[in-house]
Structure 1
Amino acid sequence: MLDAQRNFVDQLVALVESASVDVVLIAGDVYDRALPGLDVVKLLDEALVRITQAGAAVVLTSGNHDSAIRLGFASRLLERGGVHLRTHVEELDVPVLFPLGVNDPKEGSTGLGHVAIYGIPYLEPRLVAERLGAENATHFDVTQAAVERIRKDVQKRQESGPVYPVVLAHTFASGGVTSESERDLSIGGLGAVPLDLFEGFAYTALGHLHGRQELAPHVRYSGSPLAYSFSEAKHHKGAWLVDLNAGGAVAVEEVLWEAPKALATLRGTLEELLESDEHAWAENAYCQITLTDAQRPAQAMDRVRARFPETLVLSFDPQGAQARTSTSYSNRLAAAEDDLGVCCGFLEHVRGRDANEAEEAALRDALEAVRLQEAAQ
């Protein structure tokens, strides 16, 4: 999906330039695995260079798919170029400060106060609970401890002037809608943290869930820039353009990314899917197709791809077929009268239908050839 990801980066850089974006917030996941491929690392490098060249700083936190140590490498050096990494617990209460009214932290205060951006990377409870002083090794407790550290730092800074805190957090917040693409943070939903943990912040930018969604006016997921499973077929991928003014007023505008290819989830008989005009829009889409023929069609994938060449998933859900006996496969084999019955029974088991005349004839010829070969030996 590298080409699709490059296309997204092009759109992001264009937005930074056209909207004069000051800061791009990336709340993880940056990669899809702890050891990303070299071409993926190169693409991130190119993206960060282009974003900063377009005039924006970057604040980036690590997600549960990332290796925090690897992603955080050279963070102090990168900060000089406008890329601020927050991947370690020790950096939770070390914000990136941006004076209101200017887009470069080095330009100094304008008297309007500062936007203080704090990054909460993915916190694995068992690994960070003790370091954070959390009562229990749960997602709620470690996130609460992290937020309390941030609040204390905000209070201290506000003694010297207005501070408007913005928080990035890679977590599963209550009320978020999941998809099949995310890796579970815990079992049984215990990883969800309540929204009231983020009350009092000017804005909270969440990462982890792939759907762009608003949980509260100032608490939102940007979602993934691309769809990574067919459960995301109805997502409208995009971002949130946040305008924070003096006094803490926040205006949020949606931004939509254009996908190189649409996702299509189609269902029906093979004949319906190949002949119906209503499916013409999916001919150039990535397709997940479910065939409902009573019997599994021969060469189904080849025939489907003749019209929908980008079919990635093909499954079968026979409708209208006669109910088959619940007798186990081994019992059915034991009841077979001859070798041909065994072979036809196997075909029925894996195909969900009886052998047709041509298939039965082919099996009969193959068995006869084996019999003659054994007789000759």
Structure 2
Amino acid sequence: MRILHTSDWHIGRSFHGHATLAALAGVFDAMVEQVRDNEVDVVIVAGDVFDSAVPAAGCYTLLSNTLRALSDTGARVVVTSGNHDSAARLGFQSGVLRDGIHVLTDPHELARPVTVSDDHGPVHFYGIPFLEPALLRHEWPQARSQSTALSHAMDLIRDDLASRGGRSVAIAHCFAAGVEPTPHLERDIQQGGLDVVPIATFDGVDYTALGHIHSRQVLSERVRYAGAPLHYSFGEGDRPRGSWLIELDAHGDITAEWLDLPVPRRVVTLTAPLDELIDDARFAAYEDDWVCAVYTDDLPQRDPMRRLQQRFPHCAKVEHAPATAPERATRTYADRVRAARTDTELIDAFLTHVRGGEGVTEREAELVRDVLEERTRVEVLA
């Protein structure tokens, strides 16, 4: 049986204020072709289908169109909810979708698999929606954390599988041990820190398709993350986008192949002095990319975003990171102000503070003297 493992679609997420629906639609078109070309039997979407619990109307349209297109290839589709989704809103669609599309959002149904058979017998797909321990604790007293909630869920699945027999796939949305998260992207599963789920929690099934981490990860041969289909932050720019094509043989052994998805617009971070970013020919290859520009001038520059967008129309982020960090001042700004005895010394104290250690230059000192002398003349005449 051939299974396409994808996750974290985040339909509706913006990229630094820019809509991504059109780009995501193009990626989904390519995914549908991969499913058709590789004669995939089952497509898995392991949570975070939407980016918001209250998606806009266009998000529902894109999801419905994509699920129908995947189903039209002849594949079955199994979707679970993630921490970004509203399980109730996502699950509402399950009753009106065509046969062969399964949206699993009810934790009380997780031990009732979607069963798909091939020439070698049944394969049971157990969809575990994102589990909120606080909402389950009155029924699952042991669910004090994501780890204990998932451990109980897998116990229920293993018990069911023991009575059914056959091959099996688990689908979950969590932060599993051995994975490095994307900084500032994945939200904490629990307030106060990430709750790590040990890989051993998923023992007993032939393959576990995970979601929540936005880059592909191989935790073991049988436990993997597929990541997101688009780059949703500059921190992901060097990480491939795609899905895992899993082939499950008659004995439950797997072979895995990575299928790259197209990148509608590359995501790059460029670092150099501002004038070089604007003029240097070595950056010409990035003019059509999403750009995070890190300019290394010693001092902040005026209107850098507008100037950079004249060359890079898709520059979405600008950071100032001086190439040489100023030495830490031994005196505070308040100390310098208190010590100033003249207006010239007060101006020097201010410039030293805002420049991180560099005070008035020789030329600036001349201008300050001229201005102060002119002010004195005006006061005398008045």
TM-score grouping bracket, smaller chain normalisation: 0.7 to 0.9
SS of the aligned residue for 2:70 comes to helix
Alpha carbons 2:93, 2:103 under 8 Å: kept: no
The corresponding residue for 1:127 is 135
Kindly report the root-mean-square deviation, in angstroms, between the aligned alpha carbons of the 2 structures: 3.2
2:77 pairs with 58, 66, 70, which one?
Answer: 58
| CA deviation profile, 1:85-130 (whole Å, cap 9, x unmatched) | 11111111010010113xxxxxxxxxx3201000011111222133
Distance 2:181 2:201 in 1: 20
The corresponding residue for 1:233 is 237
Relative to structure 2, which stretch is displaced further, 198-207 or 49-58?
49-58
Distance 2:341 2:106 in 1: 69
The corresponding residue for 1:175 is 178
SS of the aligned residue for 2:318 comes to strand
SS of the aligned residue for 2:287 comes to helix
Alpha carbons 1:68, 1:88 under 8 Å: kept: yes
Q: 1:138 to 1:351 in 2, by over 3 A?
A: same
The corresponding residue for 1:71 is 90
Please say if 1:263 is aligned against 2:271.
no
2:168 pairs with 165, 169, 173, which one?
Answer: 165
Alpha carbons 1:296, 1:316 under 8 Å: kept: yes
Q: What does 1:82-97 correspond to in 2, within 5 Å?
A: 82-97=100-115
Q: What does 1:1-377 correspond to in 2, within 5 Å?
A: 1-78=20-97, 80-101=98-119, 112-134=120-142, 136-158=143-165, 163-180=166-183, 181-186=185-190, 191-320=195-324, 322-323=326-327, 325=329, 327-330=331-334, 332=336
Alpha carbons 2:244, 2:256 under 8 Å: kept: yes
Alpha carbons 1:100, 1:245 under 8 Å: kept: no
Q: Which AA in structure 2 matches 1:37?
A: A
SS of the aligned residue for 1:149 comes to helix
Q: Matched residue pairs, number? A: 358
Residue 223 of structure 1 and its aligned partner are, at CA, apart by: 0.4
Structure 2: 5+ residue runs without aligned partners? 1-19
Structure 1: 5+ residue runs without aligned partners? 102-111
Relative to structure 2, which stretch is displaced further, 66-75 or 23-32?
66-75
Q: Which AA in structure 2 matches 1:118?
A: Y
Alpha carbons 1:177, 1:211 under 8 Å: kept: no
Q: Which AA in structure 1 matches 2:240?
A: H
Alpha carbons 1:132, 1:146 under 8 Å: kept: no
Q: Which AA in structure 2 matches 1:97?
A: T
Q: Which AA in structure 1 matches 2:147?
A: F
Q: Which AA in structure 1 matches 2:149?
A: V
Higher RCO (CA < 8 A, seq sep 6+): 2
Please report the TM-score for the alignment, with normalisation by the length of structure 1: 0.84
Instruction: Report sequence identity in percent.
Output: 38
Distance 1:310 1:337 in 2: 49
Distance 1:132 1:314 in 2: 48
